[in-house]
Structure 1
């Protein structure tokens, strides 16, 4: 067997050493320690693959041009935020909550507003049909923005509502995530239907290198929202698609998604509309100056609401900071519903500290997983959570509990698109809504009770019987979850 020349071996050794030293210098900069360590392990143990992956997906930020747009949007909202302080806020807010609200406005530019109505819709088809009826009532415009948007039997009423509204001459603007839809069933039929109805539609975060539109391929716009005339809005966890997502593997396994949407009216709709307008500008360079976000209609309730946008366009993880602040403010009860609960050290500490303070903490997750890596990464935290005193409820298969909510004591709730995992904190554009009001929290509590009745409780004794192979898979997935 012919040996490599000595100079080739020396050169390879020098390159290998240079790559490792460079990785130590470059990778940890402005990155979470866990993420930095995961990337360094990848580079050191699988150097060629690790370097290639880092070059491909190692930058968790949007391209510089898009970040500049986000800065312009934030500045505009900040300059007009005095006009967005609508409604009368409820009296006697806890001091810790006032500071959370101030932090949210500092990070995401949007203030809190009062005199809002908000009501939950927990039935999957009912929420699709309710949004369809709201669209049919449109007089000025319809703004649709969903991570996944598919024309199918379940969403036909939604699409017919857009068609009827567009036929009346009402502008229908639609945003849908490129990567989440491009390779899904019914994509071509969906965009063909949007074209036929005359909707003004665009792809969110498109991966189109030939058109000069390129960013880290797994940065996604995960938001789900609908705004009609600036008067009525919807947001939450549900996509516009069948509860099986029309995927053969889901249909074969009998999987159906369980979601939660909230209908809002009042001044908060203008803040929600500001999110759509900012995403529209980011994708089209078009400023919809004719859309008024400074003259609200008062809502049907007196809830205090604040929209909190987050994602790689911001300097920090706005949603994570919101969750942390609320967890530390809780005095009696914390209820977390998250299909993908993969906490970083700060979030895990906040949850365990709440247990140490005597706060009742319950976590609702799915018994069945639809994404193997995230599912196993989540499982790797069960022992620590159970030992800390968290009660874990596993929503029974074949349903995937996809709701994302957080309730604190009996006064504060958060509903939106954000999971509690590394992806939602650092890689996805998300939108969450903070709500203060006992009556709204009572609605969320009622849904939590439904989930609890359809779940089984995981105990520490049961968990400790897990086979070794499951533990190994869980721990490996936990390492990869930090690759940001």
Structure 2
């Protein structure tokens, strides 16, 4: 063996060992599609694939964040131990009762009562409603959003926060660092919050100079507001102009279309619990239980009052509560399923649940944007259309250049789910999300009303149309489908 061949031989041995190790490690507790994608990357480009897998390959958090998640879950279980599974006058089907029971086992959150005060679609109306709620605050305001920017559209909300602080109200705010820092005004955002007296923290911070490192692929994608423990907002809106402060988006006419709900009553306690857990993770401060977690008397169901259950999820929940809830509701459907999701990249289980529903006579409708704002996810999503259309799923394309960003689902006339979670692997495992399930009140009807609007303005995609797409588009879609399993 010549001296020059020694490094090459050593590398061949190391590469072989990495590949053998990957075969034994990567598939553990992982979806087959994700395992296959990672193994292909490692086997074909080990010098890239193996370090990348070591860096971001695990979908779960460990260490302090995992310990806090377990501790928080136990606190909630203890606090809610005497609360019934569902409100006394609720009348869910046996299948729906099973879903609620599963959700509680996985997240510790029971089903409580709460009024859906309004469903908000237009961004300016949403920020005005949030500001109005803050204007009524007497004790505290809790704010948590993935993306936030203080611009002309959102100024009404931040001005309300400033006014609240001047009245003596405590305002705590959480914002995801990587979610927000790419938008104009980020460098001044924190300084402005500090100047008006807001207590704020970034979620999942990355600051190597200060020794703060978090995996960049795990993010907090939740969107919520709590005022005095009396009223809360959850949904898909970020706190930013609907053009996302982009001159190019304005020129193209591209704006984000969202959906959020304002709720009151007992369910606010659960939204508060999610914020308290995230606040403790980022600040180290435990919120006083007596000041923030006062139980509410159940309200009679009907009209605006619903049976409501919060379903938090994320890398701290290895059981993927939102994913299991979506699947269980689909299998419980008897007549209709409608799904609205901006990023729809189903795994095998979700695809099977949707198509199986069609085969047993359920009308399944999927509302997605005609053109996604993210290249890889958009093309990966399109790779599933043929299988869906062949099974008989009705796929509606919301017209471009608008970005349909609402995230909700209805099943029959019985149950609705709304929140921050997309229908993709990222939202099932890599991002912290929050969804709210509701029945026996007005939530389902309100959401189905938005189905009607989306159906009216969208075009239905047919199998014949889809099969005429050019071959190069099919190739791009399939490559992105493989890549999406790594995200």
Could you state the TM-score of these two structures normalised by the residue count of structure 1?
Answer: 0.96
SS of structure 2 residue aligned to 1:227? strand
Q: Hey, what does 1:384 align to over in structure 2?
A: 387
Q: Hey, what does 2:157 align to over in structure 1?
A: 158
Deviation at residue 115 of structure 1 after TM alignment: 4.8
Cα shift readout 1:48-99 (whole Å, capped 9, x = no counterpart)? 1112321222122224111001111001001111355599444431011111
SS of structure 1 residue aligned to 2:118? strand
Alignment of 1:43-442 (within 5 A): 43-82=42-81, 85=84, 88-289=87-288, 290-296=290-296, 301-437=304-440, 439-442=442-445
Q: Hey, what does 2:462 align to over in structure 1?
A: 459
- 8 Å CA contact 1:117–1:266 kept in 2: the answer is no
Go from structure 1 to structure 2 and tell me whether the alpha carbon gap of 1:301 and 1:252 turns closer, same or farther (over 3 Å shift): closer
- 8 Å CA contact 1:309–1:429 kept in 2: the answer is yes
Moved over 4 A (4+): 83-87, 297-300
Deviation at residue 451 of structure 1 after TM alignment: 1.1
- 8 Å CA contact 1:148–1:239 kept in 2: the answer is yes
Q: Hey, what does 1:14 align to over in structure 2?
A: 13
Deviation at residue 117 of structure 1 after TM alignment: 3.4
- 8 Å CA contact 2:272–2:292 kept in 1: the answer is no
- Between the aligned partners of 1:85 and 1:16, the Cα distance in structure 2 is 56
Go from structure 1 to structure 2 and tell me whether the alpha carbon gap of 1:18 and 1:119 turns closer, same or farther (over 3 Å shift): same
- 8 Å CA contact 1:89–1:113 kept in 2: the answer is no
Go from structure 1 to structure 2 and tell me whether the alpha carbon gap of 1:60 and 1:215 turns closer, same or farther (over 3 Å shift): farther
SS of structure 2 residue aligned to 1:291? helix
Select between 286-295 and 149-158 the one with higher mean Cα deviation: 286-295
- Between the aligned partners of 1:261 and 1:117, the Cα distance in structure 2 is 11
Deviation at residue 8 of structure 1 after TM alignment: 3.1
- 8 Å CA contact 1:330–1:408 kept in 2: the answer is yes
Select between 130-139 and 53-62 the one with higher mean Cα deviation: 53-62
Cα shift readout 1:379-436 (whole Å, capped 9, x = no counterpart)? 0000000001110110001100000000000010000000000110010000000000
- Between the aligned partners of 2:265 and 2:304, the Cα distance in structure 1 is 8
- 8 Å CA contact 1:277–1:287 kept in 2: the answer is yes
- Between the aligned partners of 1:64 and 1:483, the Cα distance in structure 2 is 23
Deviation at residue 23 of structure 1 after TM alignment: 1.0
Select between 183-192 and 270-279 the one with higher mean Cα deviation: 183-192
Deviation at residue 454 of structure 1 after TM alignment: 1.4
SS of structure 1 residue aligned to 2:234? strand
- Between the aligned partners of 1:22 and 1:67, the Cα distance in structure 2 is 26
Deviation at residue 287 of structure 1 after TM alignment: 0.4
Deviation at residue 438 of structure 1 after TM alignment: 5.1
SS of structure 2 residue aligned to 1:304? strand
- Between the aligned partners of 1:457 and 1:344, the Cα distance in structure 2 is 23
- Between the aligned partners of 1:69 and 1:238, the Cα distance in structure 2 is 27
* Cα root mean square deviation, aligned: 1.7
- 8 Å CA contact 2:116–2:261 kept in 1: the answer is no
Deviation at residue 441 of structure 1 after TM alignment: 1.0
Structure 2: runs of 5 or more not aligned? none
Cα shift readout 1:244-269 (whole Å, capped 9, x = no counterpart)? 11134423432100000101011000
Q: Hey, what does 2:473 align to over in structure 1?
A: 470
Select between 3-12 and 472-481 the one with higher mean Cα deviation: 3-12
Go from structure 1 to structure 2 and tell me whether the alpha carbon gap of 1:62 and 1:247 turns closer, same or farther (over 3 Å shift): farther
SS of structure 1 residue aligned to 2:355? helix
Could you state the TM-score of these two structures normalised by the residue count of structure 2?
Answer: 0.96
- 8 Å CA contact 2:255–2:401 kept in 1: the answer is yes
Go from structure 1 to structure 2 and tell me whether the alpha carbon gap of 1:249 and 1:48 turns closer, same or farther (over 3 Å shift): farther
- Between the aligned partners of 1:46 and 1:321, the Cα distance in structure 2 is 34
Deviation at residue 13 of structure 1 after TM alignment: 1.8
Go from structure 1 to structure 2 and tell me whether the alpha carbon gap of 1:85 and 1:182 turns closer, same or farther (over 3 Å shift): farther
Structure 1: runs of 5 or more not aligned? none
Cα shift readout 1:13-52 (whole Å, capped 9, x = no counterpart)? 2112111111112211222221111100001111211123
SS of structure 2 residue aligned to 1:376? helix
- 8 Å CA contact 1:271–1:307 kept in 2: the answer is yes
- 8 Å CA contact 1:84–1:294 kept in 2: the answer is no
